[in-house]
Amino acid sequence: MRYLLALAAAAASLVTGCSDPKAASEKNFEAAIQSYLDTAYPKCYFNRQFPTTNEFDIGGSTAVLQAMARAGLLVEKEASRKEVPQWGGGKKVVVKSSFDLTDEGRKFYKPDAVKTLRGEDIGGFCFGRATVTAITQFSEPADMFGHRISRVSYTYTVSGLPDWAKAPEMTSVLKALQADAASAAEPVKALDALVLTNTGWVHEKLFKKP
Q: Is the domain of 179 the same as that of 153?
A: yes
Does residue 17 carry a pLDDT above 50? no
The per-residue b/e assignment along 85-113, b for 16 or more CB within 10 angstroms, e otherwise, is eeeeeeeeeeeebbbebbeebeebbbeeb
Residue 79 lies in domain: 48-108
**How many folded domains does the chain comprise?**
2
Could you tell me the sign of the dihedral formed by the alpha carbons of 135, 137, 142, 147, in that order?
Answer: negative
Q: Is the domain of 55 the same as that of 32?
A: no
Quote the pLDDT of residue 57. 75
Which residues neighbour 28 within 8 Å (Cβ) at sequence distance 6 or greater?
Answer: 21, 22, 200, 201
C-alpha span between 166 and 178 (Å, rounded)? 8
Q: Is the domain of 32 the same as that of 73?
A: no
Q: Where are the beta strands (DSSP E) in 55-187?
A: 74-85, 91-101, 109-115, 121-127, 129-138, 142-144, 147-159
Q: Is the domain of 141 the same as that of 190?
A: yes
Q: Is the domain of 182 the same as that of 132?
A: yes
Q: Is the domain of 37 the same as that of 73?
A: no
Q: How many CB atoms lie within 10 A of CB 119?
A: 6
* Position 1 in a domain: no
C-alpha span between 72 and 126 (Å, rounded)? 16
Quote the pLDDT of residue 6. 43
User: Is cis: bond before 85, omega within 30 of 0?
Assistant: no
Quote the pLDDT of residue 16. 45
* Position 7 in a domain: no
Quote the pLDDT of residue 204. 96
Nearest CA among 196, 204, 157 for reference residue 28: 196
Q: Is the domain of 62 the same as that of 36?
A: no
* Position 13 in a domain: no
Quote the pLDDT of residue 18. 57
3-state SS assignment for residue 30: helix
* Position 117 in a domain: no
Amino acid found at 168: P
Quote the pLDDT of residue 96. 84
Q: Is the domain of 183 the same as that of 150?
A: yes
Q: Please, which contacts does 78-82 make with residues 24 or more away whose CB atoms are closer than 8 Å?
A: 79/53
What is the DSSP code (8-state) at residue 26?
H
Q: Is the domain of 54 the same as that of 35?
A: no
Confidence of residue 78 (pLDDT cuts 50, 70, 90): confident
3-state SS assignment for residue 81: strand
> Mind listing the pLDDT tens digit for each residue in 142-187?
999 899 999 999 999 999 999 999 999 999 999 999 999 999 999 9
